[in-house]
């Protein structure tokens, strides 16, 4: 059951995007502004509206910690705002000043991505606001993009309907031509790897059954496979989003949709210039979904406990005691080298799985590369290397 919490009528032009942080709701519009509200009572913040863009604001998104709000516009700029004060932290310009249609922040806040009308994507190092590269990814406007949960890949969608998977060097890993024959309008990764990517269609002509809907795809290495086509809607799907836990998918014939990571709320934006907040369930908001502490912070701000909780969530419980003994916190984890990992008894090198398993079965408790003792024999897959090998093989 879904019911309306409130309808916000502050924009003077159609709403193009909505976004939640753990404590705030933001919306942007063709009126060149962003509006920011407290989720506690949906009151507008004192510094709202934000109005530094010269033309229509197409997209906005929060950093995973909620500290930053990013927006992009037809004026060719992406602006980084301090979500506590409303002050501009940075203004990033597309090299050719092409209008920017969509923007996305990596979950670790290391990179900012923006798709442009000239078919390029601009990728910035978000930690220092420096442009890493600007590359052509399509002959048509890039209107959808999102980072994978691993932060090592991103997806782009264009008005032609092509869907493409890229690494951070903007090397093409996989392409789905005409994934939606009349255009991809939105894409969103789920929080878990096994759920994959959610892509919206612009109009009739979906991959499976030629009707409006959304497609769920999964990615493994650089392979993308269609899982489901959702066709309950009778009109073109313009927007879609996963919940933060990956358990819910919301799509609609509205210009924007977003789900709160902490409240049972959906926000939708529309051409009628309104933002509507909806409640999921029986109306009881007292049971908020609390984010893990580290999920609200940048890696550099993680405490020792945050690092240990993250290791447990990733199935690396055997490393918790090692990290705890050595007082490894976020900054140290962020700067950890192979040499440091080796000192901790973590190998840090990559091997063929069968070979290293054979080495361990032979009762070898040292690293094959450094000959130092191993504190754990836990193996973790090197997905980046696997992707690079697959790309090299496909080029031969």
Q: Domains of the chain by range and CATH? A: 2-280 (2.130.10.10), 304-395 (no CATH)
pLDDT digits (tens, 9 = 90+) for 145-185: 999 887 888 999 998 888 898 999 999 988 888 877 778 88
Question: How far is it between the farthest Cα atoms of the chain?
Answer: 71
Cα 38 versus chain centre, distance: 22
**Is residue 199 a contact partner of residue 186, using CB atoms and an 8 Å limit?**
yes
pLDDT band at 209 (very low <50, low <70, confident <90, very high): very low
Choose between 347 and 363: higher pLDDT.
363
Residue 221 burial (C-beta neighbours within 10 Å; 0-12, 13-18, 19+): middle
Compute the distance between CA of residue 87 and CA of residue 112 in angstroms, rounded to an integer. Answer: 18
pLDDT value for 121: 97
Q: What is the average per-residue pLDDT within 337-355?
A: 67
pLDDT digits (tens, 9 = 90+) for 294-328: 554 556 667 888 888 877 776 677 778 878 877 78
- Residues of the chain above pLDDT 70, percent: 77
List the single range of 73-82, 127-136, 199-208 with lowest mean pLDDT.
199-208
Torsions phi, psi for 167 (to 5 deg)? -95, 180
Compute the distance between CA of residue 367 and CA of residue 69 in angstroms, rounded to an integer. Answer: 44
Compute the distance between CA of residue 209 and CA of residue 230 in angstroms, rounded to an integer. Answer: 10
pLDDT digits (tens, 9 = 90+) for 269-302: 999 999 999 999 866 554 444 444 555 455 666 7
- Residues of the chain above pLDDT 90, percent: 43
pLDDT digits (tens, 9 = 90+) for 77-93: 999 999 999 999 999 99
pLDDT value for 289: 47
Cα 369 versus chain centre, distance: 35
Q: What's the mean per-residue pLDDT of the chain? A: 81
What is the 3-state secondary structure of the chain?
CEEEEEEECCCCCCEEEEEECCCEEEEEECCCCEEEEECCCCCECCCCCECCCCCCEEEEEECCCCCEEEEEECCCEEEEEECCCCCEEEEEECCCCCCEEEEEECCCCCEEEEEECCCEEEEEECCCCEEEEEEECCCCCEEEEEECCCCCEEEEEECCCCEEEEECCCCEEEEECCCCCCCEEEEEECCCCCCCEEEEECCCCCCCCCCCCEEEEEEECCEEEEEEEECCCCCCCCEEEECCCCCCEEEECCCEEEECCCCCEEEEECCCCCEEEEEECCCCCCCCCCCCHHHHCCHHHCCHHHHHHHHHHCCCHHHHHHHHHCCCCHHHHHCCCHHHHHHCCCCCCCCCHHHHHHHHHCCCCECCCCCCECCCCCCCCCHHHHHHHHHHHHHC
pLDDT value for 87: 96
Compute the distance between CA of residue 389 and CA of residue 395 in angstroms, rounded to an integer. Answer: 10
Does residue 34 surpass a pLDDT of 80?
Answer: yes
Distances (CA, A) of 56 to 65, 82, 364: 26, 20, 62
Identify which of 196, 195, 150, 125 has the alpha carbon closest to the alpha carbon of residue 384: 150
């Amino acid at each position: 059951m879904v019911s309306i919490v409130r309808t916000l009528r502050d924009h003077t032009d159609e709403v193009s995007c909505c976004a939640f942080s753990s404590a705030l709701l933001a919306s942007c519009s063709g009126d060149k502004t962003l509006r920011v509200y407290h989720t506690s009572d949906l009151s507008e913040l004192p510094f709202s509206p934000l109005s530094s863009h010269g033309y229509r604001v197409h997209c906005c998104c929060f950093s995973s910690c909620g500290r930053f709000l990013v927006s992009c516009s037809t004026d060719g700029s992406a602006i980084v705002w301090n979500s506590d004060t409303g002050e501009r932290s940075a203004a990033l310009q597309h090299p050719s000043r092409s209008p920017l249609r969509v923007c996305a922040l990596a979950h670790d806040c290391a990179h900012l991505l923006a798709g442009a009308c000239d078919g390029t994507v601009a990728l910035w190092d978000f930690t220092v606001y420096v442009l890493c590269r600007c590359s052509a990814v399509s002959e048509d406007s890039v209107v959808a993009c999102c980072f994978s949960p691993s932060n090592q890949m991103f997806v782009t969608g264009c008005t032609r309907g092509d869907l493409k998977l890229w690494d951070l060097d903007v090397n093409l890993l996989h392409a789905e031509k005409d994934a939606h024959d009349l255009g991809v309008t939105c894409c969103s990764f789920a929080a878990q790897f096994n759920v994959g990517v959610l892509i919206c269609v612009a109009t009739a002509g979906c991959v499976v059954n030629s009707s409006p809907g959304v497609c769920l795809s999964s990615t493994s290495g650089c392979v993308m496979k269609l899982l489901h086509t959702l066709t309950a809607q009778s009109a073109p799907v313009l927007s879609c989003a996963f919940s933060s836990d990956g358990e819910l998918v919301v799509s609609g014939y509205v210009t924007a949709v977003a789900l709160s990571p902490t409240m049972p709320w959906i926000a939708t934006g529309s051409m009628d210039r309104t933002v509507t907040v909806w409640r999921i369930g029986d109306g009881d908001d007292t049971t908020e979904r609390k984010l893990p502490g580290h999920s609200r912070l940048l890696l550099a701000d993680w405490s020792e406990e945050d690092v240990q909780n993250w290791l447990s969530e990733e199935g690396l419980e055997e490393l918790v005691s090692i990290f705890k003994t050595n007082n490894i916190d976020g900054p140290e984890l962020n700067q950890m080298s192979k040499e440091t990992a080796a000192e901790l008894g973590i190998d840090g090198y990559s091997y063929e799985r069968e070979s290293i398993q054979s080495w361990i079965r032979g009762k070898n408790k040292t690293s094959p590369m450094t000959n130092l003792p191993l504190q754990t024999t836990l193996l973790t897959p090197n997905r980046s290397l696997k992707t690079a090998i697959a790309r090299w093989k496909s080029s031969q």
